[in-house]
Amino acid sequence: MTKHHLPATPDTVHWGYFSKTLEPVLTLKSGERAVIETITHHANDDYERMIAGDPAAEEIFHWSKDRKTLRRRGAGPTDGALTYGSGEGLGVHLLTGPIAIEGAEPGDIIEVRILDAWPRPSANPAYQGRFFGSNPAANWGFQYKDLIEEPKPREVVTIYELDMGEASVKALYSYLWTPQTDPDGIVHPTIDYPGVRVDHDTIVKKEGILSGIKVPARLHFGTMGLAPAEADFVSTIPPNYTGGNMDDWRIARGARMYYPVAVPGGLFSCGDAHASQGDSELSGTAIEISLTGEFEFILHKKADLGGTILEGLNHPLLENEDVWSVYGFSVTNYLAELGPDHQHEILKRSSLDNAMRDAFRKLRRFLMTTQKLSEDEAISLMSVAADFAVTQVVDANWGVTGSIRKSLFAGR
């Protein structure tokens, strides 16, 4: 078994977008494995704990008056009348990749097996070997316009520590976001552009929060997927038919993700790693942390899909030991359905009703196609045995996952 290592460096990461125009940083044969490093785009919420002393992170996040290592940080424009910075925030996640799979062509399916995941330790001698993450309750969160305490509205960042021995996370402190000025002199009154370093001299830490509470760890990758075909640069924020920012804690060790190939090679990227998250990702983020994962990649050719669980698949599918899960979105394929301005239009289309209907339709098709059920049988089974959960209500293209237990079919 051939295993490759893909470190996170300025040459192997891209910030805020998927793109069919990127040259692969690694090319694999079907069946090969790769250990892939990812670094959280929220590391600058606490520079001392999550960046300092880590040469790769320091270089990726470097931004001074004279030099900005990664200039493009989104799928928007890179020149002209820029308000916030290059890329304009249409996309925020720091991704490692892309990885090409030899022989992958549109119509094929790439299977990504998540074999393992582990956190990237702090390299600062003051916190050597410890693991930290950030959870901003941000302006794009579900709660932002529904607060009851003052000040309203507000953004609050909570820093967590992950204990791998106990497999749990606990809150260390929080702080109210105050306007931050970036090295280009732009003031950020809210969290509106990725990678802005928080000057801790401008914030007040609130200690002793969530006292006595430990949250079980759920190490997973919030954003994984392939490059779409519809545009050269596609924002990482809304999930789509080739995967992306699905923010489902089930996409973790032991899971197999299946993605439809839209461009030659597939061009897989991953990042946006989380130490833990609940269904909905209500505040806008999970516990954003840097993880390294071990993955295995398997190519399924279009001609071989008939009679398998991948027959007719044109959207992401999760499989683990217990379930198959489909993913419903507010707009099934917003890149194709919302016209040339799709990346702005999707911001107006958030709907749990539509996401639920999309998940229902996808699971119905899956049951009818792969289990040979009639429509009436599929609907009855879904009502009594399928589990539908809200994966996220913060990524514009809101998500509902529909899961069906494998054990139901043991007697067939």
Q: Is residue 185 part of a domain?
A: yes
pLDDT surpassing 90 at residue 313: yes
DSSP 314-338: -S-EEE-SSEEEEEEESSTTHHHHS
Q: Does residue 340 lie within any of the structural domains?
A: no
CB 378 within 8 A of CB 370: no
Q: Is residue 143 pLDDT above 80, yes or no?
A: yes
Kindly calculate the radius of gyration of the chain based on its CA atoms and give it in whole angstroms.
21
| CA–CA dist 345, 352 (Å, integer) | 16
- Token pair for 343: 């990346």
Instruction: Quote the CA–CA distance of 87 and 64 in Å, as a whole number.
Output: 17
Domain tally, the chain: 1
How far apart (Å, rounded) are the C-alpha atoms in residues 205 and 213? 19
Domain with 137 in it = 3-216
Bridge partners of 387, per DSSP, are: 403
Q: Partners of 293 in the beta sheet?
A: 36, 117
Q: In whole angstroms, how far apart are CA 164 and each of 120, 132, 214, 275?
A: 11, 11, 12, 10
* pLDDT tens, position by position, 89-141: 899 999 999 999 999 999 999 999 999 999 999 999 999 999 999 999 999 99
In a domain, 140, yes or no: yes
Over residues 172-182, the mean pLDDT reads 98
pLDDT (average), residues 196-200? 98
81: in domain: yes
pLDDT of residue 2: 81
**Of 141, 153, 169, 152, the residue nearest 277 (C-alpha):** 169
pLDDT in tens, 28-67: 999 999 999 999 999 999 999 999 999 999 999 999 999 9
Flag whether 68 is in a domain: yes
- C-alpha 239/C-alpha 315 separation (Å) is 11
User: Does a structural domain hold residue 224?
Assistant: no
Average pLDDT over residues 388-408: 98
In a domain, 258, yes or no: no
Q: What are the tens digits of pLDDT across the range 340-391?
A: 999 999 999 999 999 999 999 999 999 999 999 999 999 999 999 999 999 9
The predicted pLDDT at position 81 comes to 87
Q: For residues 332-341, give the mean pLDDT.
A: 96
